[in-house]
Amino acid sequence: MTPSDEKLIQRIDSYLEDMFIGADPVLDANLANSRAAGLPPINVAANQGKFLHLLMRIAGAKHVLEIGTLGGYSTTWLARALPPGGRLISLEFSPEHAAVARQNLKAAGLEGVVDVRVGAAADSLQAMIGAGEGPFDFVFIDADKPGYVRYLELALQMSRPGTVIVGDNIVRNGAVLEENPESAMVRGIQAFNAAVARHPRLDSVGLALYKNTIDGMSISLVK
C-alpha cells in the first residue's frame, strides 16, 4: 500500500466512525484508564466494537464468551448488547489486565453481567467444559494468536447449532499472505484461518477490517 492509499483508508475509516458512532464518554474513559495503566492499545476499533455489538443483537445472543479481555473495551461493546438476564464470561491471562477491566466494567455499570476470569484461556475453557458450562450463543476469540485453534476447538465443545464464533486479527496487515512466516503470531492466525475455513461444523467468512492497519475478523455460524 502506498502512503496515499493508507491515508485514504484512514480518512474513510474516520468518516464511517464519525457518521455511525456517537460520542461515548464511558468507552473514552475505558481507553484512557487502560492507557494510564500501561496496557497496550490493541483493543478493537470503535467500528469493530459496534460491529460485534450488532452481530450479537442480530444473533439474539444471551450467553456470551470472550477470550482475551485486556481492559474490557470489546467486553463493554459486547456486554451492552446483552438482553435482560444475559451474561458474559471473559477470560484473561493477566491479573493486571483483569483488574483494569473490572474497574472499567464497574464504571460502565456492567459489573453485574460480566464475569472476568483470570487464567490461561485453555485451562479456563477446560474447566468450564468439565463444569458443564454453556452452550454459548456467541464467542469472541481475541487472546494470544498461537492459542486460537485450540480455543476454537474448546469453544465448539460449548456451542450449539446457531452459535456465532468470531475471531479477531485474521489479516495482520497482510502478514497472513507470507508463505513461511517467522512470527508465531502469524503462524497461529494462518492455522486458525485454515481450521475455520475447512471445519465441518462451521459456515464461515473472513472479512478485512481497518484498525491502524488492515486486519480482519472471521465470522462463523455453527451448523
Interface with ligand DHB, residue 66, by CB under 6 A:
no
Taking the least distance from each CB to ligand SAH, the nearer of 94 and 157 is: 94
C-alpha cell at 24: 461515548
Site size with ligand SAH, rule: CB under 6 A: 19
Distance CA 65, CA 139 (A): 5
Taking the least distance from each CB to ligand DHB, the nearer of 104 and 169 is: 169
Residues whose CB falls within 8 Å of the CB of residue 36, separated by 6 or more in sequence, listed in order: none
Interface with ligand SAH, residue 97, by CB under 6 A:
yes
Interface with Mg ion, residue 92, by CB under 5 A:
no
Interface with ligand DHB, residue 92, by CB under 6 A:
no
Interface with ligand DHB, residue 214, by CB under 6 A:
no
C-alpha cell at 88: 458474559
Q: CB 171 → ligand DHB: shortest distance, Å?
A: 11
Interface with ligand DHB, residue 137, by CB under 6 A:
no
65 touches 157 (CB < 8 A)? no
Q: Which positions lie near ligand SAH, rule CB under 6 A?
A: 42-44, 68-70, 73-74, 91-94, 97, 120-121, 142-144, 147
Q: Which positions lie near Mg ion, rule CB under 5 A?
A: 142, 168-169
Q: Which positions lie near ligand DHB, rule CB under 6 A?
A: 42, 142, 168-169
